[in-house]
């Protein structure tokens, strides 16, 4: 993209008849979006950065006092916040790994000539299209200890998935895996179908077994697109809120975004929660950057 | 090395029939070229032998064993495709090692290194061994994919138009190299191409394929000089054989719509060439010569100068025919010339069936 071309206006076009040049048409399309982004994204972002250095509380009329890095210092020294981070990390790892395994596995199964492949793929994509809140609500019913179908099917009696401190986080992760595996599957399918067929034929001729072919041809060629899936899913999992919030109130499943929500809207520590939001943002950015670096390395090979 | 036989092979893809009643016999150590137009079924034949497709009917034998239930791996063939199919992201060395590394038949490292080095030396790609495959030129890539075939010492080499994607100079060079390689290895080669020059110059034997049927099998010499029918006659040779409708009358060839006569001695006269039977006379352009006292007059329609020779297009009435003449022949377009043919080299085809009279009975 070294040069940007602005083509000259076609004299006979309708836009020309209305006296619009290419540049004004371009501005017409771009300016509303830019304005929207500035008003709803960039302005709050910068405004909250300002608040993160104050002791502002949105619930009182007291003026905000500048406290410097006090909020950040407190938060980073708070063992509770760190335990929230640890829970979040555990949740991210379990749910992303699960989605990767299930999604890629299903994609491998689907990547062949089977009857009704299109219909099957569409049906498998459905969980992804549901609203988070809806998924949370009806998995809550599925997990229900007294009438939930999961306990009934597995014969677990009245096992309390969501109230069990050890199980709650896994239960949330399981729901997330159910919901988002299709996304990984979709990307994997695209990657798998892009592997040229003649490479598999060449490998078969070269007498490579199925495992050898998988690890030496399929995986290296699909790796970049799998990495993209991992990046997306990690970012999303890191900021999971609604699913976990609806499903469980166990402190062992209190993700960082739930902690943030409580801090901001139940305890009304607006300044401090802004600081926490910034810490989370920086962490997500850092993780994403590491991934992107790695992705570029995978692509280069 | 191996002897390959196809017996009565048919292959259909849905409604489309790719091959019908194909019989093929490739002797051990032979360089067999399968020649045909695009869509004639050449690649399908190759894939059937490789085990990448199953025949709808008929059997494939390798060394006398029916290999119907064998997969590609068990057949132990090597396949070189037009699109190279190198494994991306690996270096040339890793590509060459690939067929030697699967766990089941893993060779000792020293042996792998030895074979890879030897193949690289044969194909003169030693300096490329540590390069990634996407930094290679087309000719280099094709050498690597041939290299991947030879490291394994397979029973048969199958090549699917390996030279078509290369530029002319390189194609010529690799043609000679491949032929030398085959003689060095003494291996059975099945080479598929649509280029009749490749077929003529490389093949010990050539099989001409038309619409899923083998039309003629034979040495390049036989195919060229004694084509079985008008299809082979017009497909093999550049420029192709001249085909002129006519009949025999008292030892003279009388061309019917064109209205000219040429002497046709009984020397090459085949059985069944009775007077008056509708025939097609086939004569190679190099067997048509210009001479001042020759029996037929024509006009020069076009001159193609090839350096060593000139290819003339002569116009007789409404029809044209080609003649190859020495480059020093001085002719101008629209000049009137007289020509004759070498009657011993004329091939007679039946007008109805197109089959050469020499091949009937």
Q: Domain containing B50 — which CATH number? A: 3.40.50.300
Domain edge (last residue) among B212, B235, B258? B235
Residues B338, B282 share a domain:
yes
pLDDT in tens, B249-264: 877 888 877 777 888 7
Same domain, B247 and B219: no
| Same domain? B168 vs B271 | no
Task: Judge: B52–A204 Cβ closer than 8 Å, yes or no.
Answer: yes
Confirm whether B359 is domain-assigned. Answer: no
Domain spans in chain A, listed from the N-terminal domain onward: 22-51, 75-300
CB contact under 8 A, A205 and B102: no
Residue B357 lies in a domain: no
- Taking an 8 Å cut-off on Cβ atoms, the answer to whether B72 and A205 are in contact is yes
How much is the pLDDT for A16?
62
pLDDT (tens digit, 9 = 90+) per residue, A7-17? 555 666 665 66
- In order along its 301 residues, chain A shows pLDDT tens digits of 444 555 555 666 665 667 777 888 889 999 999 999 999 999 999 999 999 999 988 888 888 889 989 999 999 999 999 999 999 999 999 999 999 999 999 999 999 888 898 899 999 999 999 999 999 999 999 999 888 899 989 888 888 889 888 999 999 999 999 999 999 999 999 999 989 888 888 888 888 888 888 988 899 889 989 999 999 999 999 989 999 999 988 889 999 999 999 999 999 999 999 999 999 999 999 999 999 898 888 777 6
Cβ within 8 Å of residue A184, ≥6 positions away:
A99, A100, A102, A103, A104, A107, A226, A229, A233
Which pLDDT score, from 0 to 100, does residue B154 have?
Answer: 87
Chosen domain end from B205, B235, B265: B235
Asked if A209 and B85 come within 8 Å (Cβ–Cβ), the reply is no
Interface touch B87/A217, C-beta < 8 Å: yes
Own/partner pairs, B103-112, CB within 8 angstroms, 24+ separation:
B103/A209, B103/A212, B104/A207, B104/A209, B105/A207
Interface of B with A in 89-128 (CB under 8 A): 89, 98-99, 101-105
Angle at A98 between CA A94 and CA A103, to 5 degrees: 155
Q: Is the previous residue joined to A30 through a cis bond, with omega within 30 degrees of 0?
A: no
Task: Look at residue A125 and give its three-state secondary structure.
Answer: helix
Give B149's contacts (C-beta < 8 A, 6+ positions apart). Answer: B78, B79, B80, B157
Q: What angle do CA A193, A197, A199 make, to 5 degrees?
A: 120
* Nearest chain B Cα distance for residue A234, angstroms: 27
Residue B282: what are its φ and ψ, rounded to 5°?
-110, 130
Q: What is the pLDDT along chain B (361 residues), one digit of tens a residue?
A: 688 999 999 999 888 888 988 899 999 999 999 998 888 888 899 999 998 888 999 999 998 888 888 888 888 888 888 877 888 888 999 999 888 887 666 788 888 899 899 888 888 888 999 998 888 888 888 889 888 888 888 889 999 988 887 788 878 888 888 888 888 888 899 999 998 888 888 999 999 999 888 999 999 999 998 899 999 998 888 888 999 888 888 778 888 777 778 887 654 455 566 777 888 889 999 999 888 888 888 899 999 998 888 999 998 888 888 999 998 888 888 889 998 888 888 888 888 888 888 876 5
- Note whether residue B358 is domain-resident: no
Q: Rounded to whole angstroms, how far apart are CA atoms A281 and A238?
A: 10
A202: chain B residues, CB-CB within 8 Å: 79, 81, 85, 87, 148
pLDDT of residue B90: 87
Q: Name the domain count of chain B.
A: 2
**CA nearest to B154 within chain A:** A206
Same domain, B220 and B265: no
- Asked, for residue B356, whether it belongs to a domain, the answer is no
B138 & B37 share domain: yes
**With a threshold of 0.80, does the pTM exceed it?**
no
Coil, strand or helix: which one is B315? Answer: strand
Q: In Å, how far are B20, B44, B50, B194, B209 from B10, measured between CA atoms?
A: 4, 10, 16, 21, 13
Q: Write out chain B residues lying below 8 Å of A212, CB-based.
A: 101-103
Among residues B178, B200, B235, the one where a domain terminates is B235
Q: CA-CA distance, B284 to B324, in Å (whole number)?
A: 9
Q: Are B145 and B180 in a shared domain?
A: yes
- Residue B134 and residue B250 in one domain: no
**3-class state of residue B296 by DSSP:** strand
Q: Which residues of A touch B87 (CB under 8 A)?
A: 199, 202-203, 216-217
Task: Give the number of other Cβ atoms within 10 Å of residue A209's Cβ.
Answer: 14
Q: How far apart are CA A143 and CA A140, in angstroms?
A: 5
- B158 shares a domain with B57: yes
**Chain B residues near residue A206 by CB distance under 8 angstroms:** 98-99, 102, 148, 152
Tell me the CA distances in angstroms from B320 to B157, B238, B338, B350, one per residue in order.
42, 16, 14, 21
Nearest to B102 among A201, A209, A220 (CB): A209
Nearest CB partner across the interface for B102, out of A196, A202, A207: A207
**What is A75-300's CATH number?**
1.10.3720.10
Cα separation, B143 vs B146, whole angstroms? 5
Q: Are residues B71 and B158 in the same domain?
A: yes
Q: Are B229 and B354 in contact (CB under 8 A)?
A: yes
What is the structure's pLDDT at A301? 63
Give just the sign of the alpha carbon dihedral A205, A211, A215, A219: positive
Are B55 and B186 in a shared domain?
A: yes
Domain range holding B274? Answer: 242-350
Residues of B in contact with A191 (CB under 8 A): none
Interface of A with B (CB under 8 A): 196, 198-199, 201-209, 212, 216-217, 220-221, 301
Query: Are both B294 and B251 inside the same structural domain?
Result: yes
Q: Which among A206, A212, A301 has the least Cβ separation from residue B89?
A: A301
């Amino acid at each position: 993209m070294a040069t940007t071309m602005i083509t000259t206006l076609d004299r006979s076009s309708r836009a020309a008849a209305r006296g619009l040049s290419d540049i004004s048409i371009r501005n017409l399309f771009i300016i509303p979006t830019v304005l929207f982004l500035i008003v709803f994204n960039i302005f709050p972002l910068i405004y909250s950065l300002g608040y993160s250095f104050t002791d502002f509380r949105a619930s009182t009329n007291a003026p905000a006092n500048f406290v410097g890095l006090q909020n950040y210092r407190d938060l980073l020294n708070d063992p509770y916040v760190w335990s929230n981070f640890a829970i979040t990390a555990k949740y991210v790892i379990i749910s992303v790994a699960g989605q990767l395994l299930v999604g890629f596995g299903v994609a491998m199964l689907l990547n062949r000539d089977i009857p009704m492949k299109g219909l099957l793929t569409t049906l498998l994509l459905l969980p992804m299209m549901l609203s988070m809140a809806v998924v949370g609500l009806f998995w809550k019913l599925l997990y229900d200890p007294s009438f939930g179908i999961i306990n009934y099917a597995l014969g677990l009696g009245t096992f309390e998935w969501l109230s069990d401190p050890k199980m709650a986080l896994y239960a949330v992760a399981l729901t997330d895996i159910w919901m988002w595996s299709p996304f990984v599957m979709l990307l994997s399918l695209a990657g798998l179908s892009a592997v040229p067929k003649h490479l598999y034929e060449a490998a078969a001729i070269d007498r490579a077994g199925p495992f050898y072919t998988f690890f030496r041809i399929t995986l290296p060629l699909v790796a970049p697109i799998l990495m993209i899936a991992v990046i997306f899913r990690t970012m999303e999992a890191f900021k999971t809120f609604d699913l976990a919030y609806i499903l469980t109130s166990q402190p062992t499943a209190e993700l960082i975004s739930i902690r943030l929500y409580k801090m901001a809207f139940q305890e009304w520590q607006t300044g401090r929660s802004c600081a926490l939001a910034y810490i989370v943002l920086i962490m997500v950015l850092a993780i994403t950057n590491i991934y992107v670096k790695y992705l570029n390395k995978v692509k280069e090979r | 090395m191996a002897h390959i036989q196809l017996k009565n092979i048919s292959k259909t893809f849905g409604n489309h029939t790719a091959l019908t009643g194909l019989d093929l016999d490739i002797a051990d150590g032979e360089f067999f070229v399968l020649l045909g137009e695009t869509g004639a079924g050449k690649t399908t034949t190759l894939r059937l032998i490789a085990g990448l497709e199953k025949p709808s009917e008929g059997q494939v034998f390798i060394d006398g064993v029916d290999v119907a239930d064998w997969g590609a791996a068990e057949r132990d063939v090597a396949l070189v495709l037009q699109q190279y199919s190198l494994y991306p992201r690996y270096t040339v060395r890793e590509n060459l090692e690939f067929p030697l590394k699967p766990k089941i038949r893993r060779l000792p490292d020293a042996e792998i290194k030895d074979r890879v080095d030897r193949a690289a030396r044969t194909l003169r790609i030693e300096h490329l061994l540590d390069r990634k495959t996407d930094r290679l030129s087309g000719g280099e890539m094709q050498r690597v994919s041939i290299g991947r075939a030879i490291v394994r010492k397979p029973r048969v080499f199958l090549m699917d138009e390996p030279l078509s994607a290369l530029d002319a100079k390189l194609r010529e060079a690799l043609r000679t190299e491949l032929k030398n390689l085959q003689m060095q290895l003494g291996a059975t080669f099945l080479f598929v191409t649509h280029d009749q020059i490749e077929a003529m110059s490389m093949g010990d034997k050539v099989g001409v394929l038309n619409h899923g049927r083998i039309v003629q099998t034979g040495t390049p010499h036989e195919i060229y000089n004694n084509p079985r029918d008008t299809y082979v006659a017009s497909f093999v040779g550049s420029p192709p054989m001249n085909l002129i409708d006519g009949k025999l009358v008292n030892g003279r060839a009388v061309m019917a719509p064109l209205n000219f006569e040429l002497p046709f001695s009984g020397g090459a006269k085949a059985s069944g060439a009775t007077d008056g039977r509708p025939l097609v006379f086939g004569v190679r352009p190099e067997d048509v010569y210009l001479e001042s006292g020759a029996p037929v007059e024509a006009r020069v329609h076009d001159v193609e100068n090839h350096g060593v020779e000139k290819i003339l297009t002569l116009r007789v009435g409404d029809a044209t025919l080609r003649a190859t003449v020495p480059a020093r022949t001085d002719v101008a377009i629209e000049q009137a010339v007289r020509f004759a043919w070498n009657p011993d080299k004329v091939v007679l085809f039946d007008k109805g069936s197109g089959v050469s009279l020499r091949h009937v009975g």
